[in-house]
Amino acid sequence: MTKDDCKKLVTEIIADIAPDEDLSNLKPDVRLRDQLQLDSMDFLDIVMELRKRHGIEVPEADYIQLASLESCAEYLTPKFNALEGKR
């Protein structure tokens, strides 16, 4: 999985969690909370969906790694690739 694939996947999860948000102009290097109306429960929903849909565990200490689309891709891409290697 590439970083772009990962960004797309995270964007899809956000679209499901916050369907009223306009995701067409998301800036990859700006914090998601600064661009969208996401509260802490929405953020937890993103983490839960990563686990439910893709088997990706994100420990609470690592939540800061999911601040922007770019940081999500940096953090999650190796995790996805490790999972794919185990399948």
pLDDT tens-digit series, residues 46-85: 999 999 999 999 999 999 999 999 999 999 999 999 988 8
Give the pTM: 0.92
Pick among 3.40.50.360, 1.10.150.130, 3.40.50.300, 1.10.1200.10: CATH of 3-86: 1.10.1200.10
Tell me the backbone φ, ψ of residue 56, rounded to 5 degrees.
-95, 120
- Asked if residue 86 lies in contact with residue 7, where contact means CB atoms within 8 angstroms, the answer is no
User: Would the pLDDT of 2 be above 70?
Assistant: yes
Angstrom distances, CA of residue 11 to CA of 30, 44, 46, 73, 86? 14, 15, 10, 11, 25
Cα 25 from chain centroid (whole Å): 16
Residue 14 has pLDDT above 70, yes or no: yes
Mean pLDDT for the chain overall: 94
Q: Are 75 and 65 in contact (CB under 8 A)?
A: yes
Domain residue ranges in the chain = 3-86
At 17, is the pLDDT very low, low, confident or very high (cuts 50, 70, 90)?
very high
